[in-house]
Amino acid sequence: MIEYGIAQFDRFLKTVIPNSASAAKANPAQQAPHDIEMDEGSRQHAAGLMRINHTGEVCAQALYNGQALTAKSAEARAYLEHAADEETDHLVWCEERLAELASRPSLLNPAFYGASFAIGAMTGLLGDRISLGFVSATEDQVCKHLEEHMVTLPEEDQRSRAILQQMIEDEERHGSEALARGGKAFPSPVKQLMTVMSKVMTTTTYRI
């Protein structure tokens, strides 16, 4: 039990402390051309969007870790921990892009981690099938945000685009894997809570 608590705390620290996690896969931005001059407004806008996406990945880590904490079966717990590990790549890529854009992750990340962890743990209590259904619904929502960002990112920001494109592919796969594992629709209060939180997250982290 103590060991599990330490492992969870380690995951929290790696998520909220910049540069403390490392990616397993190469950053897709490496395939894109180096930055063409962006004007200050475009740079700030791109950084705002990438900060939102980074915090989205912080929330993903926290949701999965919260869900793993209260998962009913060892199998579901192992799957959720594996899913969280896969999201680490996204977290690191967004962090690296923020640095390239001469910006930083959101200062609100520890708070979003806490709130998401609580939602994740609560969802886990509703049972593994609902918890897996929640993964699929969350990934759907994430993909919608990412698609919007692909449209509103400055045209010349090929490097952020390359990252988001890979994230969209990965998130779609995460969603369908969760359904294939028996995920089913979860109660609408949790869904509403998610929508409210994602609104709060996207409006605050664009700047803060």
Measured from the CB of residue 28, what is the shortest distance to Fe ion in angstroms? 13
We find the least distance from the C-beta atom of residue 30 to Fe ion, in angstroms, to be 18
Please work out the total of residues on this chain that contact Fe ion, with binding judged by CB under 5 A: 4
Task: Give the nearest distance from C-beta 167 to Fe ion in angstroms.
Answer: 6
87 binds Fe ion (CB under 5 A): yes
Binding mask 145-184 for Fe ion (x = CB under 5 A): --------------------------x--x----------
Distance CA 81, CA 73 (A): 13
Single-letter amino acid, residue 177? E
Is 95 among the residues that bind Fe ion (CB under 5 A)?
no
At position 204, the amino acid (one-letter code) is T
Our CA angle for 37, 53, 66, nearest 5°, is: 160
Tell which residue, 204, 52, 69, has the closest CA to residue 131: 69
The answer to whether 96 contacts Fe ion (rule: CB under 5 A) is: no
CA distances from 9 to 3, 4, 75, 97, 200 (A): 10, 9, 21, 26, 25
Q: Minimum distance from CB of 39 to Fe ion (Å)?
A: 29
Residue nearer to Fe ion on the CB measure, 34 or 49: 49
Buried b (16+ CB within 10 A) or exposed e, 120-159: bbbbbebbbbbbbbbbbbbbebbbebbeebeeebbeebbb
90 binds Fe ion (CB under 5 A): yes
CB of 40 to Fe ion, least distance (A): 29
Binding site for Fe ion (CB under 5 A): 87, 90, 171, 174
